[in-house]
Amino acid sequence: MLSSSLGRKVVMALTGLFLVMFLLVHLSGNLLLFKEDGGAAFNAYAHFMSTSPIIRVLEIGLFAGIIFHFLEGVSLLRKNQQARPTRYAVKSPSSATWASRSMGLLGGTITIFLVIHLADFFYKSKFATPEPGVISVIDAEGTRDLYAVVREAFAVGWYSAVYVACMVGLALHLFHGFQSAFQTLGLSHRGYALLVRRIGLLYAIVVPLGFASMPVYFFLKSLN
Ligand code: HEM
């Protein structure tokens, strides 16, 4: 079942929906960045997330989910290309949206984003040795000043612009992915189709917009 075309789509759908849940949690926690307390609440939250044993276990599941989703995505893309080796000279009118035809491109953009993001934030939150210019420790418990890392990173205009552009890619990927997942799992039959579409659209706008507001906020703050 898992190696069949449908099985692979089911894996894509389930891992995708799991990542959708992660993004909601990640966004909610990151909203603490907007608290005007010099980063105290955000740093305390990030410290809890990196020391709690339950979160560590969930993190392994998260990275496994990301790798599965990525590998299955590449595999499905290659399969689709093999199924249609020659491109048509004249494009047939297609009812598929641009987002659905460009899942490979959008997925690739998000992959590059994730590599940059994990190297800059995740690595510094967990593994980098505290030293000036990299990350500092702010109390005896070893809480890292991740707020300062985020603030400094987003004070750079081009870096923030890249983040915002990637969030547009994420929005399109989520919009198509959400509906595709529900269709694959057979949860979008007639009665619910419109509801699924609306929830997917709302999610695909609100979540990337919430993330994009963070670089914009810190960049504008750095100008004052
Ligand atoms: C643009 C606003 C964002 C900010 C400020 C931000 C910030 C952070 C920070 C500080 C960390 C390391 C500490 C922690 O684990 O909480 C982190 C980890 C992570 N971020 Fe983000 N993030 C943003 C957007 C995103 C997006 C859009 C994605 C996915 C598409 C993402 C995926 C991840 C993953 C997978 C991790 C590692 C897992 C984890 O530690 O929980 N982040 N992020």
Q: Is residue 178 part of a domain?
A: yes
Q: Which atom of ligand 1 is nearest to the CA of 110?
A: 30
Beta bridge partners of 131: 135
Residue 167 sits in a domain whose CATH number is 1.20.1300.10
| CA–centroid distance, residue 95 to ligand 1 (Å) | 34
Are 19 and 65 spatial neighbours (Cβ–Cβ below 8 Å)?
A: yes
> Which of these, 218, 214, 213, lies nearest to 151 by C-alpha position?
218
**Would you give the distance in Å from CA 167 to the centre of its chain?**
8
Are 68 and 11 spatial neighbours (Cβ–Cβ below 8 Å)?
A: yes
| CA–centroid distance, residue 89 to ligand 1 (Å) | 42
Q: Is residue 193 part of a domain?
A: yes
Enter the tokens of residue 117: 């993001």
Per-residue pLDDT tens digits of the chain, which is 224 residues long: 555 677 878 888 898 899 999 999 999 999 999 999 999 999 999 999 989 999 999 999 999 999 988 998 888 888 877 776 555 554 544 556 676 678 888 989 999 999 999 999 999 998 999 998 899 999 999 999 999 999 999 999 999 999 999 999 999 999 888 888 888 887 767 677 888 889 999 999 999 999 999 999 999 999 98
- Coil vs helix vs strand at 137: strand
| CA–centroid distance, residue 211 to ligand 1 (Å) | 9
Query: Taking the model in full, what pTM does it have?
Result: 0.90
Are 21 and 30 spatial neighbours (Cβ–Cβ below 8 Å)?
A: no
Distance CA 191, CA 109 (A): 34
| CA–centroid distance, residue 139 to ligand 1 (Å) | 23
Q: Is residue 192 part of a domain?
A: yes
Domain count, the chain: 1
Which residues have any ligand 1 atom within 6 Å of their CB?
26, 30, 46, 49, 59, 62, 110, 114, 117-118, 121-122, 125, 146, 150, 163, 170, 211, 214-215
Q: Is residue 92 part of a domain?
A: no
Distance CA 108, CA 112 (A): 6
Residue nearest to atom 2 of ligand 1 (CA): 211
Q: Which atom of ligand 1 is nearest to the CA of 46?
A: 16
Beta bridge partners of 135: 131
Q: Is residue 25 part of a domain?
A: yes
Q: Is residue 91 part of a domain?
A: no
| CA–centroid distance, residue 158 to ligand 1 (Å) | 19
Parent domain of 117: 5-85+98-223
Q: Is residue 90 part of a domain?
A: no
Q: Is residue 146 part of a domain?
A: yes
Can you give the pLDDT at residue 109? 93
